[in-house]
Amino acid sequence: MNNHQLENIITKSLAGTLNAEEQELLNHWISESKENEKEFKAYALLWEKSQKLVLSDSIDVESSLTETKKRIAKLSPKKRWQTYLRQAAAILLLSLSFSFLYNYCVLEIDSEEVVMQEVKPAFGTHTKLQLADGTTVWLNSGSTLRFPTSFANLDERKVELNGEGYFDVAKNDAKPFIVKTPKLGVKVYGTSFNVSAYKEYNTMTVALEEGKVALVNEYSSGPKELMTMKPNDIVEYDSEKNKLFHSSNSNLKKYTSWKDGYIVFYDDHINDVVQRLEKWYNVKIEIQDQALQDYSFTATFTDETLEQVLNLLSLSSPMSYKIVSAQKQEDNSFSPRKATLSIKK
């Protein structure tokens, strides 16, 4: 069937005037794909809504299709719009294209089909955005956040984070806010907190400034709350050991200062330092000497380059470093820079 034949058959189906052969054709077209089924439901929904309008019994729906299309082609945009408004809903239905009807109605038909948006800041930067519910999110370098463009038809406000984000969540007791990470979920009760959960690392850290959150295992047979956190709580989850490590600290700047442009280390193990620098500077860092595993660092950086940071860290330890520039690849993109850390000779 071409589009014209399909429009006629769908219209006759909604009007209840299909013969057996036409019904068979329609059934076959609907069963061909899920998209066809959704488009037919979109027509049916719009037809149902049109019944609430007052229609003249004298309207001949099928003959009006041809006449309306002829007239629309000749009208100016202004007159064309006025014609749309004056026509009965049945004629309007026939005048609109399948793509418009699908886009107009599909979200009402299939509430499971949610439009998602993705944000990823450039390396060495962070970004601030506001979600549809009023929640404010700061997203750190090398992170990705996926979220619905609207929470209106959803039972919960769920977003997906790979990386590090600071959330100031708008309170809504009727719709819980959930941050899904590659490790655990964070269920929010209207609060401000920081989450660091890069999928390539074994650890995940949650630092709570205000309110209350619960850590949730979303990858078990059913969502299971593991722990409830209070303000100033810090919880680290080790996915290899499947263990939670809890502590408390009234000064959380170490976990949240990045959103203000600072990199803060406070007695951080060299492995943690490496992970943060890798994401901030888009560099791959290799620790070549096992002896460096005995070192931790305390420092604050703002606008320093990678070389400046490594140089300053080396001044307070027996560490030396070497940076290899990014290499151009076959597809004309550049590989991440590489750095090696070793003991000074």
Are 244 and 269 found together in one domain? no
Please give the chain's pLDDT, 345 residues, in tens.
Answer: 677 678 778 877 777 777 878 887 887 787 777 777 777 777 777 766 555 444 434 444 455 455 544 554 544 444 444 444 444 344 444 444 333 444 444 444 444 567 889 998 877 788 999 999 999 999 998 899 999 989 988 889 999 999 999 999 999 988 999 999 998 999 997 799 999 999 989 999 999 999 999 999 877 666 788 899 999 999 999 999 999 999 999 889 999 999 998 899 999 999 999 999 998 888 999 999 999 999 999 999 988 899 999 999 999 899 999 998 877 777 766 778 899 999 987
CATH of the domain at 180: 2.60.120.1440
Are 121 and 86 found together in one domain? no
Last residue of a domain, one of 88, 109, 130: 109
Q: What is the pLDDT of residue 49?
A: 59
Are 55 and 126 found together in one domain? no
Environment class of 273 (CB within 10 Å of its CB; exposed 0-12, middle 13-18, buried 19+): buried
Euclidean distance between CA atoms 345 and 319, whole angstroms:
9
Last residue of a domain, one of 196, 220, 255: 255
Are 251 and 266 found together in one domain? no
Are 249 and 151 found together in one domain? yes
CATH of the domain at 287: 3.55.50.30
Number of domains in the chain: 3
The amino acid occupying position 174 is: A
Are 130 and 181 found together in one domain? yes
Q: Which ranges constitute the DSSP H helices of the chain?
A: 3-15, 20-32, 34-50, 61-74, 77-86, 89-95, 98-109, 253-256, 270-281, 306-315
Euclidean distance between CA atoms 18 and 318, whole angstroms:
85
Are 294 and 337 found together in one domain? yes
pTM beyond 0.75: no
Last residue of a domain, one of 82, 109, 136: 109
Range of the domain at 316: 262-343
Are 165 and 283 found together in one domain? no
Query: What burial letters (b/e) apply to 145-168, b meaning 16+ CB within 10 Å?
Result: bebbeebeeeeebbbbbbbbbbbb
Are 13 and 47 found together in one domain? yes
Are 51 and 98 found together in one domain? yes
Are 60 and 176 found together in one domain? no
Find the helix or strand (DSSP H, E) in which 126 lies. none
Q: Are 176 and 142 in contact (CB under 8 A)?
A: no
